[in-house]
Structure 1
Amino acid sequence: MTTTRVCVAGGGPAGIMLGLLLARHGIDVVVLEKHDDFFRDFRGDTVHPSTMNLLDALGLRAGFDAIPHHPLTMLDVVANGVRVHAVDFTTLPRPNNFLTLMPQWDLLDLLASEGARHPSFDLRMGTEVIDVLHDAGRVSGVRVRDSDGESKVRADLVIAADGRDSTVRRRVGLRPAARGVPADVVWFRLPHPSRHVPDTLAWLSEAGMLITIPRPDYLQCGFLIPKGRFDDMRAEGIERFRARVARGSPPLTEVTDHIVSFDDVKLLSVQIDRLPTWTAPGVLCIGDSAHAMSPAFGVGINYAVQDAVAAARILVPVLTRGGGHAEIDRAAARVQRRRAWPTAMMQRIQQVVHRAIANGRAVRVLDNPPTRAQRAVMRVAIPVARPLVARMVGYGFRPERLSG
């Protein structure tokens, strides 16, 4: 059995970041990740300016820059063949006036390596949380399973950072309230076409919405489909799916044959949900465990990291002065009060986007060529919106800062 001050279930962005921040203050923390490594494809790749600001504050910029990544100063959308410069991050303060694309496992490796420099940081890979422990009506730790069998980790506070299917959350009876989403996403890889295509976040057409995320050696692609229609799409056959990809983005026509079968296509069931209460006695939920975000704007990692920073800033003073269980639980409740509003605001915007264009169906927001009225909107409204959207996407609502 292990005894620690804080036990974090889940080694994603929220869990690893919180573990690192607590360890920097000398607080004993055990982080439990059920997988043996961080390599999970088709996860979010976007690292936002607010996250890079935090990495700078942690002194991790050199390590971050050493990892191959793909900076984007603009986010383009192609609507019915018309290219629109939708988001301009250069309007944000330097030096982090851009968004960058980096595989999530590389970011997690960086944070975990930094955490390992602190004696109070204990990351256990291949260790799955299977239940919670109770003592006098309060969660007092977790039961885990690893290659050696089952054991216990006792803690003054358990952080549920184990994702939208959180075991900890389920075991303490916390249930999220779902916000309806009309679409799912299927993810697949394609090589870059021989002809250079400008970085394009999304292609909107009668085929629907196609996402193309540039990685150094390939494109990570996502196609939105109507909710629950994946089996129907499979039944139609891979040739029809390839043709739909080609209609969605004509420059990809030459590479669609790399989608050999539906074994190359992975389904992500899109969810937007949020816990009414993020805490139970001895437990605090953060990240996807507290609020599943849609892939819209790629803000999931950003919001998970922001939760971790807020949790550390609020919990560290209580934990370092030896606060008791009642004080710890009150501090945990303050984390929800801090993060619930920015989460709700972003989720509302995501819902609007899903209703308007990201619904898995044909999307027509512009004529080609654009009408006179559409050209007027593009000349006037889009330049005004660009910096506002850049700030919303780049920082989210109520961005967090380190406590020191």
Structure 2
Amino acid sequence: MENSGAMEKTGCAVVGGGPAGMMLGLLLARAGVQVTVLEKHADFFRDFRGDTVHASTIRLIDELGLGEEFRRLPQSRLSNVAFPVPGGPPVTMGNFDSLPAPYNYVALMPQWDFLNFLADAAAREPSFSLRMSHTATALRRNGGRVTGVRYRRADGTEGELQADLVIATDGRHSTLRRAAGLAPKEYPVPFDAWWFRLPRHASERGAVAGIVPAFGRGEALVALFRTDYFQMGYLAPKGADARIRAEGIEGFRRRIAGLRPDLADRVDAIGSLEDLHWLDVRLDRLHQWHINGLLCIGDAAHAMSPAGGVGINLAIQDAVAAADCLAPALLRGRVPRAELARVQRRRRMPTVVVQTAQRVMHRLLFEPIMSGKRSGAPAVLLFIARRIPGVGRVVPRFMAFGPRPEHAPAFARRAPQRS
């Protein structure tokens, strides 16, 4: 490969333009740090990514002075999560309406809209640079310290970016994490997910009240509301992809119609198996999130299960903590490793708490369903929801804000922008 141009330099190289990377870039730029975000794709239009923007993130956006702009984006509001009960009404596990307004909901919106929103806000900062179609391929090192990244452009040419600090936000299959020799501890996950779309009829459009999953023996189905379609997530035992595809598209359509008879009239919209987007669900966590000159956050540090839909929220909280802790050192041009360790200490507890909650959900809810031992919500969860006071307030608070929500650093706050 050709290497073109002189080596460039930035204060912080952020690798990965997902929610954590784009939020981190925006915050550091508002601190005056020279920050460059490298994103391997040409745009943000990638379907079937995490699309929930939680209340703690909405509050953060307000603190950044971007709330009015955010609320103009197409979105639905999720107000509760419930479990179906045969022969009776669903049992609500958490009602977000119990939280104080205006942070009493979770926003459902396409991730590309959210990322474009963050990119537009960051582009207003003179020290921010976003480079699309730039794939990080390796780390630059000098002695025992990471000093930047090597990357490949869309045309195949290569370059190097020198940086005072590299932050990996490149997801659960992180190239930089692997290059640094950091290996996560993996936890068992009983299911994988297959995402696809189904149309919404005009009479069904409007605000979404909640999510009610459908359970069968060895399978489950969830639906997220979009403006004119449902984003569907089909869950089946891990390792079932080959079996599901061997059944063909007609077999898959029958599965969906069996779980949601009310949607049977539109399963033909699943045109072929190519319309199914398989997600290899993982749950893992690094013991150490950093080496000298490199920090991993978000899914690069801790891959989350889709259970509870909290992955984006946790990653963004990591970004806020990282910006708050590291901006002063980045402005000085030297980031001691102790500062990277401080970010990990601050974010380790909420990560462990959330992942522990997900592992409990896997064990109590998903493992019996995926093994065929049960086809509905466990009795213990239904009992807790019905009989224990306060659960209806604790569960939505945990989902909406997490165990340690972060606030915007003072240097990043702006007065609300009025249209």
- The TM-score range, normalised by the shorter chain, is over 0.9
Of 291, 300, 314, which residue of structure 2 is paired with 1:289? 300
Task: List 4+ stretches of structure 1 deviating above 6 A.
Answer: 373-376
Task: Indicate yes or no: 2:261 matched with 1:253.
Answer: no
| Structure 2: distance between partners of 1:53 and 1:198 | 21
Structure 1 position 68, deviation (Å): 0.6
| Aligned partners of 1:131 and 1:144 also within 8 Å | yes
Q: Describe how 1:252-271 pairs up with structure 2 within 5 A.
A: 252-271=263-282
Task: Indicate yes or no: 2:233 matched with 1:222.
Answer: yes
Q: Which amino acid aligns with 2:78?
A: L
Alignment root-mean-square deviation, CA: 2.0
Equivalent in the alignment of 1:209: 220
Of 114, 118, 134, which residue of structure 2 is paired with 1:127? 134
TM-score, scaled relative to structure 1: 0.93
Equivalent in the alignment of 1:179: 187
| Structure 2: distance between partners of 1:58 and 1:167 | 31
What is the identity percentage for the equivalent residue pairs of Structure 1 and Structure 2?
47
Task: Indicate yes or no: 2:394 matched with 1:388.
Answer: yes
Q: Which amino acid aligns with 1:84?
A: V
Structure 1 position 194, deviation (Å): 7.2
Tell me the secondary structure at the aligned position of residue 25 of structure 2.
helix
Tell me the secondary structure at the aligned position of residue 41 of structure 2.
coil
Tell me the secondary structure at the aligned position of residue 390 of structure 2.
helix
| Alpha-carbon distance change, 341 to 366 in structure 1, aligned in 2, over 3 angstroms | closer
Structure 1 position 309, deviation (Å): 0.2
| Aligned partners of 1:311 and 1:335 also within 8 Å | yes
Structure 1 position 183, deviation (Å): 0.7
Deviation string 1:269-299 (CA, Å, 9 cap, x unpaired) is 0000000000011000000000000001111
Structure 1 position 397, deviation (Å): 1.2
Equivalent in the alignment of 1:78: 84
| Structure 1: distance between partners of 2:188 and 2:43 | 32
Structure 1 position 52, deviation (Å): 0.1
Gaps of 5+ in 2: 1-6, 411-419
Comparing 46-55 and 187-196, the one that deviates more: 187-196
Structure 1 position 120, deviation (Å): 0.4
Structure 1 position 66, deviation (Å): 1.1
Task: Indicate yes or no: 2:105 matched with 1:98.
Answer: yes
| Aligned partners of 2:168 and 2:297 also within 8 Å | yes
Tell me the secondary structure at the aligned position of residue 297 of structure 1.
coil
Of 319, 323, 329, which residue of structure 2 is paired with 1:308? 319
Task: Indicate yes or no: 2:54 matched with 1:48.
Answer: yes
Q: Which amino acid aligns with 1:125?
A: M
TM-score, scaled relative to structure 2: 0.90
Comparing 56-65 and 144-153, the one that deviates more: 144-153
Tell me the secondary structure at the aligned position of residue 171 of structure 2.
coil
| Structure 1: distance between partners of 2:13 and 2:398 | 32
Structure 1 position 237, deviation (Å): 2.3
Equivalent in the alignment of 1:342: 350
| Structure 1: distance between partners of 2:67 and 2:257 | 39
Equivalences, count: 396
Equivalent in the alignment of 1:192: 200
Tell me the secondary structure at the aligned position of residue 224 of structure 2.
strand
Deviation string 1:157-205 (CA, Å, 9 cap, x unpaired) is 0000011111111111001110110110111111125774964341123
Q: Which amino acid aligns with 2:72?
A: A
Of 56, 61, 65, which residue of structure 2 is paired with 1:59? 65
Tell me the secondary structure at the aligned position of residue 296 of structure 1.
coil
Deviation string 1:3-47 (CA, Å, 9 cap, x unpaired) is 111100000011110011000011000100000101110101111
Gaps of 5+ in 1: none
| Structure 1: distance between partners of 2:91 and 2:100 | 23
| Alpha-carbon distance change, 30 to 198 in structure 1, aligned in 2, over 3 angstroms | closer
